[in-house]
Amino acid sequence: MDSTEGSLLCFPNLNSSCRWLPKPRSETALLYTLLASVSLLTVTLNLLVVISISHFRQLHTPTNTLLLSLAVSDLTVGMLVVPIEGLHLMETCWMLGEVICALTPLVFFCLVSSSVGIMVLISIDRYVAICIPLLYATKITLNRVRTCICVCWACSLLFNGWLLRGHLRQPDRFSSCHGECVVVISHISGTVDLFVTFLGPCTVMVVLYIRVFIVAISQQRVIRLQTAATVTLAPTAKRSERKAARTLGIVIAVFLMCFCPYYYPSLAGKDTSTSASYFVVLSCIMVLNSTVNPLIYALFYPWFRKAIKLIITLKILQPHSQDKIL
């Protein structure tokens, strides 16, 4: 092997090494700049959500606790998944070793599954708040929500550990050469994942939110009748609860749009492989959701905008700042 040929290998000392396909410097610089920008933006926005909900006591509610868990998941995506998966997609050589090759998809899949679980919990939270408001304070408590979040993360870890069991035991079993990290999920496992992680939860979310919006519309009519007749007809959810339901409905709708394409291989009867040409697009769409969520909060939640101002101006460092009313 001459030096020129060896320089085009991921591992020049190994005959079974994958080939390194260099890109133009301008293209590489542009891609890395874009990758760093997306990662930084995702981390910054979700960190603001985490600090806001954690710091201000007014925001320590069951609904915001669910948003906090979702923000932690999105923050991890921006901090770990975006750099590693971005490096994997842009470079033709996997230089991070077998351990990282085994753990990266597990972390990514767990974050996806836990986010789906949190979305289901948000749907249940809004259903109780809008449809049976008198029971909300007793049925939806902070401790119960925290317990459900822990169960959601634990189930996500167990399920995805089972789904990736073959890859975790032998990360290089689908690699054709050294310097490659390929994850392949069989059609059978992909179908199970499709029903457990997507179709089942999506059905629950859609059914609950259809019920929520039907009840919200009927409550608006009740409020108009109460105003006109100046009598109390029936208990209704607060206006803030209905507004929160609308905002979280947008979050769930965007989430579903971003994650639907990922399950295309399972719906088409194919194996899901990270080496497929379309997987780059699917990954980008999924990662984009972690960046979009905080932007939705900023557009529709006044408390988040006020919290950002207090954080940026460092007023949260003042005594008793956690008791400020947003």
State the pLDDT at residue 11.
79
pLDDT digits (tens, 9 = 90+) for 127-143: 898 888 888 889 999 99
Answer whether residue 262 shows pLDDT above 90.
Answer: no
Mean pLDDT, residues 274-292: 73
Kindly state the percentage of the chain with pLDDT values over 70.
Answer: 85
Which 3-state string (H, E, C) describes the chain? Answer: CCHHHHHCECCCCCCCECECCCCCHHHHHHHHHHHHHHHHHHHHHHHHHHHHHHHCHHHCCHHHHHHHHHHHHHHHHHHHHHHHHHHHHHCCCCCCHHHHHHHHHHHHHHHHHHHHHHHHHHHHHHHHHHHCHHHHHHHCCHHHHHHHHHHHHHHHHHHHHHHCHHHHHCCCCCCCCECCCCCEECHHHHHHHHHHHHHHHHHHHHHHHHHHHHHHHHHHHHHHHHHHHCCCCCCCCCHHHHHHHHHHHHHHHHHHHHHHHHHHHHHCCCCEECCCCCHHHHHHHHHHHHHHHHHHHHHHCHHHHHHHHHHHCCHHHCCCHHHCCC
Answer whether residue 64 shows pLDDT above 60.
Answer: yes
Range scoring the smallest mean pLDDT among 62-71, 116-125, 181-190: 181-190
Mean pLDDT, residues 200-221: 82
Answer whether residue 84 shows pLDDT above 60.
Answer: yes
State the pLDDT at residue 1.
47
pLDDT digits (tens, 9 = 90+) for 158-170: 999 998 988 888 8
State the pLDDT at residue 208.
87
Residue-range domains of the chain with CATH: 39-323 (1.20.1070.10)
Model confidence band, residue 281 (pLDDT cutoffs 50, 70, 90): confident
State the pLDDT at residue 324.
82
pLDDT digits (tens, 9 = 90+) for 7-53: 578 877 777 788 877 778 887 888 888 888 989 999 999 999 999 99
Q: What is the pTM of this model?
A: 0.84
Mean pLDDT, residues 55-61: 92
Looking at mean pLDDT, say which of 58-72, 95-109, 240-254 comes out highest. 58-72
